Structure 1
Amino acid sequence: MDTTERVQIASTFLLQSPPGEINDVLNAPDVRNIIGDDDLLQEGIHPALREYNIAQFTTVDVPGTGHQSIISEAARLPAENLDEAQERFLDPRSKTSFVFDHLSLEASNPQSFEPDAEHESFRVALQTAALLYLSSHFQDGVASVFFSTKDEGPEFVIQVVANKYNPTNFWSGRWRSEYVVNLTENTVVGKILANVHYYEQGNVQLSTTHNISFTLPPAIISAPSNTAASKIIALIEDEEGKYQISLNDTYQEMGEKTFKGLRRALPLTRQKIDWDKVLGYKLGAELSSSKGMFGNS
């Protein structure tokens, strides 16, 4: 197997890393031994790290500010010339662009950025409303609103990411959502992506994608910027709330039906299990003494 193939294998592992665990995967002996050369490994996997950070909405401390911004395709600025070696990303909140190191996850070389004057007031209104929504529903999260000009007309891209890492209890999770607001077509098109990893005495991952689209009522389009922005975020809040409820219902059903369905209807003793009684068993002596009753079910 040549070096290119080894780098490709290592990159595949990295792209599948659960939330907050990419460094654990990168530093795992099995991954590092695939190539056997740390310098070559870091050089070869850089494209995979870049792809991962952009897709996962990696957050970064913005130099000279007290907040974080999101690394994403919407945040990436086009190169000013073909010879530019380091791509720059934008923090629209502070009107700052910076270079991002995909390995160290640090920002550097900040520069001021001049936004589109015609659309900046509405972008700021969306940003303000998004931050209020973030503080109400996410314990730890980052929200950024970007502006871009497309063939379909001017677009505002709202992105939210929230991470929760709990290695002590062997789980981690990430919530990402993105919405494209097009005021020419009066539409909002978005998606929610949720990833959860639980790895205590096992390895279970949940990965979901939920698409959302709706048309903006005329009353919102004709409203002042601050009012329109607040109402758009309120509609997004409603959609995300409904999806959260559906996830909770799914978890409840899995606990009550799906996991029980994975077991035999009857143990080897042909006697039904009293599930309510099982919840009362003490770990240790009582559970061990009942081993014969459970058999291999």
Structure 2
Amino acid sequence: MYDLGSVKLLSTSNRKLIQEVDPGRPEQRSLLLFDGKDVAAVDFDSNITFRETINQIELKNHPGRTKLDAMVEDTISPEERASISARLVLLAPPCEFNEVFEDVRVISGDHPTTQKKLAAAAAQYNRDQMIPVKLPNAEYSSLITAHGDLGNGQFLCPRSHSTFHYDHLKQTASDVKGLDPNDADGGDTTAEPWRHALEVAITEYTLEHFPSGSVAVYAPAVTNEDRRLVACIVSQFRKHQSTGRWRSEWTIKIPDEPIGGTFSVHGVIKVQTHLYEEGNVQLISSKEVDFSVTAPNAKAFANECVRHIKNAEIAYQTAVGDNFKTMSDTTFKALRRQLPVTRSKIDWNKIITYQIGGELSRAS
């Protein structure tokens, strides 16, 4: 039983039965049945059934607290609360993680389980979103990705062949250290010529097509002879009342004989935008792409890969734009007419003329 002032909550299977008693008039009482969203209230004296939103019912003797607060604290365990909070953080729109994280932390409280889950969610979010990070004295940004995660907050920068520590909550990098040429943390050293060539080609492509793009190309350590390269491209923006992030990840399987061999490439392109001007709309879209490349050397391989990547990303961007136009011409029109029946906009400076013309037409 959960008792707050004059409110008592009694567990009944998966619902909550609330018995509210007025201490001054015990003969007047009502039962409220909580079904997960609303409260159905029955006043036994008048025998009238009505519904009202839980958040609008304030607890007696606890100003500012609602029955919903009491129910949530009583029905949700710290572990469940922590899991829910973590899932909310992972849904943060591009470039808005800090705002969402702070709001969720305030709402969810400071229970140790919740704080631990939120910290883990922050790390997962940064890896999934491939957050760019600028290392000291570096010309280009590095990326926080699962492919460069070395554990314990350490990440690999394949471009500079160094490691750094990343604080997922502060989103800052520190403790940059160079790696020895054959250090296992640096990845597959035998694939370095191919990795470097691809890195150079994709960097040129990204600088040309993405105003704020960042690139990282990894050659993960060989496991079970599965030699591969992973190229990650990220570009993001934050403008007035809108944010967006473009991500693409390309996994290239290296053949046993790279020179003259066939490289199989699988790519995933993801777009997420958030517009909150006079509304709150998010677009989340993705597309998978497959192709193969055969080349006589590393430079030719890299150029051919970038040619395919460029064509795939342009085609995807064009398709997303076409879908917006289709929605504007069909779906949105089904919700609300954009123009008057005449399909022409009204010149409000001539509205008096329109009114006079209408009156003359009716008079004739």
- After TM superposition, the score normalised by the length of structure 2 is 0.67
Match of 1:205 among 282, 292, 313: 282
Question: Where do 5+ consecutive residues of structure 2 fail to align?
Answer: 1-75, 256-261, 356-364
Provide the rounded CA distance (Å) in 1 between the counterparts of 2:90 and 2:250: 23
Match of 1:120 among 189, 192, 201: 192
In structure 2, the partner of 1:100 is 166
Identify the structure with bigger relative contact order (alpha carbons < 8 Å, sequence gap 6+).
1
1:26-175 aligned at under 5 Å gives the runs 26-28=101-103, 31-37=104-110, 42-77=115-150, 79=151, 86-113=152-179, 114=181, 115=186, 116-148=188-220, 149-151=222-224, 153-166=226-239, 168=240, 170-175=241-246
Residue by residue, what CA displacement relative to the aligned partner does 1:7-56 show, whole Å, maximum 9, x if unpaired? 2222121111000111111222xx23433339875444111111111101
Of 148-157 and 51-60, deviating more is: 148-157
Residue by residue, what CA displacement relative to the aligned partner does 1:247-275 show, whole Å, maximum 9, x if unpaired? 1111111122221022379x9xxxx6233
Root-mean-square deviation (Å):
2.6
User: In the alignment, residue 87 of structure 2 is paired with which amino acid?
Assistant: T
Provide the rounded CA distance (Å) in 1 between the counterparts of 2:108 and 2:299: 54
User: In the alignment, residue 259 of structure 1 is paired with which amino acid?
Assistant: F
Provide the rounded CA distance (Å) in 2 between the counterparts of 1:69 and 1:42: 27
1:191 aligns with 2:259: no
Provide the rounded CA distance (Å) in 2 between the counterparts of 1:57 and 1:24: 18
User: In the alignment, residue 214 of structure 1 is paired with which amino acid?
Assistant: F
Provide the rounded CA distance (Å) in 2 between the counterparts of 1:281 and 1:69: 53
Structure showing greater radius of gyration is 2
Asked if the contact 2:153–2:167 (Cα under 8 Å) also holds between the matched residues in 1, the reply is no
1:276 aligns with 2:347: no
Asked if the contact 1:93–1:144 (Cα under 8 Å) also holds between the matched residues in 2, the reply is yes
Residue by residue, what CA displacement relative to the aligned partner does 1:104-142 show, whole Å, maximum 9, x if unpaired? 111112121234432111111000001000011000010
Asked if the contact 1:6–1:34 (Cα under 8 Å) also holds between the matched residues in 2, the reply is no
> Quick one: percent identity of the two aligned structures?
31
Q: Name the structure with the higher strand share.
A: 2
Q: 1:228 to 1:281 in 2, by over 3 A?
A: farther
User: In the alignment, residue 154 of structure 2 is paired with which amino acid?
Assistant: R
Structure 1 residue ranges, 4+ long, deviating more than 6 angstroms after superposition: none
**Aligned to 1:159, what secondary structure does the other structure show?**
strand
In structure 2, the partner of 1:293 is none
Provide the rounded CA distance (Å) in 2 between the counterparts of 1:91 and 1:174: 21
**Aligned to 1:124, what secondary structure does the other structure show?**
helix
Alpha-carbon distance, 1:243 to partner: 0.9
Asked if the contact 1:62–1:91 (Cα under 8 Å) also holds between the matched residues in 2, the reply is no
Alpha-carbon distance, 1:67 to partner: 2.3
Of 247-256 and 48-57, deviating more is: 247-256
Question: Where do 5+ consecutive residues of structure 1 fail to align?
Answer: 80-85, 291-297
Provide the rounded CA distance (Å) in 2 between the counterparts of 1:130 and 1:105: 25
Asked if the contact 1:15–1:48 (Cα under 8 Å) also holds between the matched residues in 2, the reply is yes
Match of 2:309 among 236, 258, 261: 236
Provide the rounded CA distance (Å) in 1 between the counterparts of 2:111 and 2:344: 53
Q: 1:264 to 1:164 in 2, by over 3 A?
A: closer
1:3 aligns with 2:84: no
Provide the rounded CA distance (Å) in 2 between the counterparts of 1:274 and 1:38: 61
Provide the rounded CA distance (Å) in 1 between the counterparts of 2:93 and 2:111: 22
